[in-house]
């Protein structure tokens, strides 16, 4: 028994110094997963500081940060939740910056035909089935989606046929599995999906501008937090975001 304990202690002692610094902890919106992971790897190579991510719905993350979760950086998929943590002084006011924007699309299982302009045939093709959407009451993507459907005059007909889900990635999976004939997600989610395809792209003037905001948390004491925020706005990270389908400064 003692030998095992000794071995354990030795292993821990050997492993711990290998990571000279504490990793930087970033809480980021689920819709940014792939791009953020790539940015994290690049940042680690450049700075020598590892980045640890926790991905979830923006609302969940905001609540956790308000409750004092050990995050250093918060990346929110909308302005409303960023305001929420700002009001509660859980993030540093001066540190907030917009890092990217996005667009909304309708997805359908592979093999489906495109929708008409204005998605006018959506109600008809939906028949008695459901349109998967991130919850319009709570999730940013759902709120934007509701506005976009309202702008097309479709909200009143489809609002009784929604399947509100936890976040856009759940919507994506439901479409890919064929559980629903249509799902409303970000353009960037469509890039990740292999069993689903874009059948409609929403005009971006139908909903408030989608803003991904990043900020340093109030109790995030990591020395590299600010550096990471600057890195997010820098050319390398912006290029990764751009190639993942996000709208960056390049496109205005």
- The smaller minimum CB distance to another protein, of residues 2 and 160, is found at 160
Distance, in Å, from the CA atom of 156 to the CA atom of 163, rounded to the nearest integer, reads 15
Min separation Cβ 60 and another protein, Å:
7
Min separation Cβ 84 and another protein, Å:
4
Min separation Cβ 59 and another protein, Å:
4
- The smaller minimum CB distance to another protein, of residues 100 and 180, is found at 180
Min separation Cβ 86 and another protein, Å:
11
- The smaller minimum CB distance to another protein, of residues 115 and 162, is found at 162
- The smaller minimum CB distance to another protein, of residues 174 and 225, is found at 174
- The smaller minimum CB distance to another protein, of residues 63 and 233, is found at 63
Min separation Cβ 179 and another protein, Å:
5
Min separation Cβ 129 and another protein, Å:
8
Interface with another protein (CB under 8 A) = 57, 59-60, 62-63, 80-81, 83-84, 129-130, 132, 135, 137-139, 162-166, 170, 174, 177-180
- The smaller minimum CB distance to another protein, of residues 71 and 225, is found at 71
Closest by CA to 232, choosing from 108, 98, 61, 49, is: 98
Q: Hunting for tokens 């353009």 — which residue is that?
A: 187
A 10 A CB-CB count for 29 gives: 30
């Amino acid at each position: 028994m003692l030998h095992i304990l000794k071995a354990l202690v030795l292993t821990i002692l050997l492993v711990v110094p290998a990571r000279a610094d504490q990793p930087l902890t970033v809480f980021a919106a689920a819709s940014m997963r792939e791009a953020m992971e790539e940015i994290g790897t690049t940042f680690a190579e450049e700075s020598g500081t590892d980045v640890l991510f926790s991905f979830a719905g923006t609302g969940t993350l905001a609540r956790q940060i308000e409750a004092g979760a050990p995050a250093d950086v918060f990346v929110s998929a909308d302005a409303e939740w960023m305001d929420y943590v700002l009001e509660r002084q859980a993030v540093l006011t001066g540190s907030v910056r917009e890092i990217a924007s996005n667009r909304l699309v309708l997805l359908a299982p592979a093999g489906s035909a495109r929708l008409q302009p204005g998605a006018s045939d959506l109600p008809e093709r939906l028949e008695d089935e459901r349109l998967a959407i991130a919850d319009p009451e709570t999730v940013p993507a759902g709120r934007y989606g509701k506005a976009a459907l309202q702008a097309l005059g479709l909200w009143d007909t489809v609002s009784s046929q929604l399947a509100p889900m936890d976040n856009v990635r759940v919507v994506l999976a439901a479409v890919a599995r064929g559980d629903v004939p249509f799902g409303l997600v970000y353009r960037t989610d469509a890039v990740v999906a292999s069993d689903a395809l874009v059948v409609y792209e929403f005009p971006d003037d139908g909903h408030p501008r989608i803003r991904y905001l990043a900020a340093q948390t109030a109790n995030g004491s990591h020395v590299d937090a600010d550096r990471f925020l600057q890195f997010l706005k820098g050319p390398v990270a912006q290029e990764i975001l751009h190639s993942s389908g996000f709208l960056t400064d390049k496109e205005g």
